[in-house]
Structure 1
Amino acid sequence: MKGLHRIAVPVVLATLLSPLLAQAQAYPSKPVRVIVVFPPGGSNDVTARIVFAKLPQIMGQQFIIDNRGGASGTIGATVVAKSPPDGYTVMVQSTTHIANAYAYKGKLQYDTLGDFIGVTPLARQVGMLVVHPSLPVKSIKDLVALAKKRPGQINYGSAGLGSYVHLNMVMFISMTQTKMTHVAYKGGGPLSIAMISGEVQTTISTIGSVFNHIKSGKMRPLGVTSPQRVSQFPNVPAIGDSVPGFDFTAWVGSFVPAGTPKAIVDSLNAGLKKALADPDVSKKLSSLTLDPMYMTPEEFATRLKSDLERYGKLMTAIGMN
């Protein structure tokens, strides 16, 4: 009887697993829905369209963009979390996904990490610390010195409480032990208007948001939030050169529902890796001040956990955790 049990168990397991293995080997065998959790036109949407446009020739099926915007991406994320874990529903979301875990604490219909598998980031967004030209500073060290000389007298703007812009400034102020006054606006557009008018004197915003204003001389760049300089502004140093350890970049990433077979996740990851390595994709993303960003699912999982911890500390600092 023991011998029969030894034979029966592998047979049963093989019977149960064979449909999943066959499904993974055939993936994708039909069009894939790509849910972008923000409206058309933003960096998440444009990134998704640029990258996933390459997958039909790489993976042999259409990847159809489906915008499900609203509530900072939580509406679309809920749809994905409740979708079958078969690889045919993919989510494109940004670092906002992590911030939402705290901003919507107790209100989400999904677990930020537990209900999703991160396939790979798609693009990196770098921030730029800018000041109004009237502010008598030409470097990060100048700004820190002035802020210490005039505690609370320099106004900094954000695109909203808990936004990427806000948290960047919170970290900068904490690491430089300075004091500035926060003014929150309803989005990047109003923030840019306030910066140009001089209503606020400084902010850290994504490069894409301030690119034209820097070129026109309406804002003065002091430093980027990445560890190294960026190709779009090679003469602008990293904030970390003056504030050791400062590194705060955002990402646009791809996810599938938890429970999706590893073979399917790996297949999709491999397809996206090829797409991100395509010179045409790199050129198009660069024109939008975005950098292609690839990780294995395991590397992305580590980054997500790290970001969740970092955002938790920053949200606590501003009373949102």
Structure 2
Amino acid sequence: MPFHPPRRALPALLLAGLAAPRVARAQAPWPDRPVRFVIPYPPGGSTDVIGRLVGNALGQELGQPVVIENRGGATATIGSLMVSQSRPDGYTLLLSNIASHAIAATLFRNLPYDPVRDFTHVALLVTTPTILVVNPAFPAHSLADVVRLSQQAPGGLDMASSGTGSSNHLLLVRFAELTGAKLNHVPYRGGGPAMTDVIAGTVPMMSDTLPSALPHLRGGAVRALAVSGPERSPLVPEVPTFREAGIDLINLPWYGLSAPAGLEPGIRDRLASAISKVLAAPALRARLAELGSEPGDMGPADYTRFVGEEAKRWAPVVKASGAQAD
């Protein structure tokens, strides 16, 4: 038989029905205000270039501004820690990367965050090769020249990177191990400041990611000796790979989108969907290609697993380098 509530119960039921829409209306859809996107490096480096490119496109897709905030220092761990301690409401995001979420786990004795557990990993954004560049006045024109000159110099040769324990630093360490080159690592707080000193001749050479170095290469401010990808980059086809020079060395830094742990699955999936659309856009893909970068294709589950695997893969490399940070 159909249920007929008592007449005196009808006002209460009607009030309850009217209250529900008011509760729903009080919960604004995400995002309803600007989103902060933390780049854990200073302005000017490849991380900043890629982060701003993706961040601007993501803001257009979400319908809210994505405000870039550079928080560099300590091999990208300062900005990463700040995000891990932020509210998981979708309004603070991080450009996670190989340094902050793979290398740092071994580099730091007491890393104040767990690269997997303390974040909600959303998507892999891009991968990009590394390139070895020198000041135009530096006499080396090949990797063999670098090895020879470093062995002839009384104290070896100085070589800059974006920071201690960065993938650029570990590339140099591995290069020295494989060739016997005598190199003195000069760490900087990001690729931008390091490049400034290489151009000025303060340091003769550095390892940098291709997107960061490319404008300086095209302007003639630096010269390139080798790229770290499995094959030559179409952007600098005249530059050989390390493997072509007889050095078995491949290095592909990566960048992803992450948020604090505990992010609501609905917001996480909304972000992942937005990133998928952003990376599929022909204009952005063309721009990434101009920078020598490849768009990623990992969603939340795959990227989370990837970050954990990368931390394990880099652990023995960091230990072998002897690099350590507090």
Same fold (TM over 0.5): yes
Helix, strand or coil at the partner of 2:54: helix
**CA 1:181/1:78 → structure 2, altered by over 3 Å: closer, same or farther?**
closer
Out of 232, 239, 242, the position equivalent to 1:239 is 242
**CA 1:188/1:136 → structure 2, altered by over 3 Å: closer, same or farther?**
same
- Distance between the aligned counterparts of 2:91 and 2:221, measured in 1? 45
Q: Tell me if structure 2 keeps the 8 A contact 1:151–1:178.
A: no
Instruction: Indicate the structure (1 or 2) with the bigger Cα radius of gyration.
Output: 2
Out of 54, 62, 65, the position equivalent to 2:64 is 62
Which residue number corresponds to residue 172 of structure 1?
Answer: 175
1:78 aligns with 2:90: no
Helix, strand or coil at the partner of 1:294: strand
- Distance between the aligned counterparts of 1:167 and 1:287, measured in 2? 26
- Distance between the aligned counterparts of 1:111 and 1:206, measured in 2? 26
1:275, CA displacement in angstroms?
A: 0.5
Helix, strand or coil at the partner of 2:206: strand
- In structure 1, give the amino acid aligned to 2:284: V
1:33 aligns with 2:43: no
The alignment's C-alpha RMSD in Å is: 3.6
1:315 aligns with 2:323: no
Deviates more, 1:90-99 or 1:27-36: 27-36
Which residue number corresponds to residue 271 of structure 2?
Answer: 268
Which residue number corresponds to residue 228 of structure 1?
Answer: 231
Helix, strand or coil at the partner of 1:234: coil
Q: What is the 5 A alignment of 1:116-155? A: 116-144=119-147, 147=150, 153-155=156-158
Which residue number corresponds to residue 259 of structure 1?
Answer: 262
Helix, strand or coil at the partner of 2:312: helix
- For normalisation by structure 1, the TM-score amounts to 0.73
Provide the aligned length of Structure 1 versus Structure 2: 295
- Distance between the aligned counterparts of 2:145 and 2:305, measured in 1? 36
Which string of whole-angstrom CA distances, capped at 9 and with x for unpartnered residues, describes residues 122-173 of structure 1? 2334321123445554333454455567696333233443334322211221
Deviates more, 1:92-101 or 1:232-241: 92-101
**CA 1:173/1:28 → structure 2, altered by over 3 Å: closer, same or farther?**
same
- Distance between the aligned counterparts of 1:121 and 1:257, measured in 2? 16
1:273, CA displacement in angstroms?
A: 1.4
- Distance between the aligned counterparts of 2:49 and 2:191, measured in 1? 17
- Distance between the aligned counterparts of 2:36 and 2:149, measured in 1? 47
Which string of whole-angstrom CA distances, capped at 9 and with x for unpartnered residues, describes residues 21-51 of structure 1? x9xxx97464573431447844445534433
- Distance between the aligned counterparts of 2:139 and 2:51, measured in 1? 40
Which residue number corresponds to residue 21 of structure 2?
Answer: none
- Distance between the aligned counterparts of 2:198 and 2:84, measured in 1? 38
Structure 1 gap ranges (5+)? 1-21
Which residue number corresponds to residue 116 of structure 2?
Answer: 113
Q: Tell me if structure 2 keeps the 8 A contact 1:119–1:268.
A: yes
Q: Tell me if structure 2 keeps the 8 A contact 1:139–1:222.
A: yes
**CA 1:253/1:32 → structure 2, altered by over 3 Å: closer, same or farther?**
farther
Q: Tell me if structure 2 keeps the 8 A contact 1:170–1:314.
A: no
**CA 1:199/1:283 → structure 2, altered by over 3 Å: closer, same or farther?**
same
Out of 47, 51, 57, the position equivalent to 2:50 is 47
| Identity level (%) | 31
- For normalisation by structure 2, the TM-score amounts to 0.72
Q: Tell me if structure 1 keeps the 8 A contact 2:58–2:66.
A: no
- Distance between the aligned counterparts of 1:254 and 1:45, measured in 2? 13
Structure 2 gap ranges (5+)? 1-23
- In structure 2, give the amino acid aligned to 1:81: S
Out of 158, 162, 166, the position equivalent to 2:161 is 158
